[in-house]
Structure 1
Amino acid sequence: MTTTRTTHARKQQWAGGLMLFGAVMLMIAGVIDIFRGIMGIAKDNVFIATNDYIFRFDLTGWGWVTLILGAVAVVVSIGLFQSAMWARISGIVIAGLIIIANFLSLPYAPLWSTLMMAFSGVVIWALCVARPEGAVPRRGTSRGT
């Protein structure tokens, strides 16, 4: 009985660590997107536009989208530091939107967009894998025994 509680406590610590990891990663991605959005709004010529890409956007408008996504990501990450369930769900949605936004901005900053998509994928993974503090694994499943 004690080993089961110890194992469950270790899994909870691991899950809590993943939640904290996801919160920190989302905070970093949000702050970086805020700065990237400001760059796009302040100076359109910071990014090199290609004419061969099927998705063409006004870079000032794209800067506003990136700025807003970054600001929402920062707010959600603050909720994740408090282990709020709304923040977990919102974090997954925001990280998914960041992936889509960075996919669309691949021709303007290919390396950076790829890095941000990977960052956001790790955030989604961390938020999906971590269990809420009160969650107890079901008996009879491979994860719970």
Structure 2
Amino acid sequence: MNTTTPTSDAAGTTLTRHPPESSGWVGWLVFAAVLMILLGAFHAIQGLIALFNSEYYLVGPQGLSIHLDYTTWGWVHLIAGTVVLVAGIGVLAGQFWARLVGILLAVVSALGSFAFIAAYPVWSCILIALDVLIIYALAVHGREIR
């Protein structure tokens, strides 16, 4: 379906505007936004687990790359996960700020997951892979979701 929007310029000449063509990358951006929402939910769940059951993890706090107790780590995951979730919704809405936040938080998430790899290796590797996909889609093709 080809829709056009007639408009007029200052001289009264009728102009026809065609909507911008969307590429196949829009699907990938929606995929990245949904991944951000999932990643945010996963981080929030991981944070809640750290807050309520710190014995769940394979390594004690002293065996981590970053020496934090699991309560602090839980709050960091819970807050960051919520921010990523909100940014994912913003990406779906085509917001530029959400793309920037998404890229920055995906980088931070990948680094944090790497630091957390001794405590929960499989989960951390999954989160790192999701972060890389999000960074690629948002950085390379982010403008196309408008």
Q: TM-score range by the shorter chain?
A: 0.7 to 0.9
Shift of 1:56: 2.4
Shift of 1:76: 0.3
Structure 2: segments with no counterpart, 5+ residues = 1-19
Aligned twin of 1:64: 75
Flag the structure with more relative contact order, 1 or 2, with Cα contacts below 8 A and sequence separation at least 6: 1
Is 2:68 the partner of 1:48? no
Is 2:102 the partner of 1:91? yes
The DSSP-based 3-state class of the residue aligned with 1:106 is coil
Judging changes above 3 Å, is the alpha-carbon distance between structure 1 residues 129 and 40 closer, same or farther for their aligned structure 2 residues? same
Is 2:105 the partner of 1:105? no
Shift of 1:134: 9.0
Query: Conserved in 2, the CA contact under 8 Å of 1:98 and 1:120?
Result: yes
Q: Identity of counterpart residues, as a percentage? A: 28
Structure 1: segments with no counterpart, 5+ residues = 1-7, 136-145
Aligned twin of 1:20: 30
**More strand, by proportion:** 2
Shift of 1:85: 0.6
Corresponding pairs, count = 126
Match of 2:129 among 92, 107, 118: 118
Q: Normalising to structure 1: TM-score of the pair?
A: 0.79
Taking the aligned partners of 2:85 and 2:48, their CA distance within structure 1 comes to 15
Shift of 1:17: 1.3
Larger Rg: 2
The DSSP-based 3-state class of the residue aligned with 1:13 is coil
Shift of 1:21: 1.1
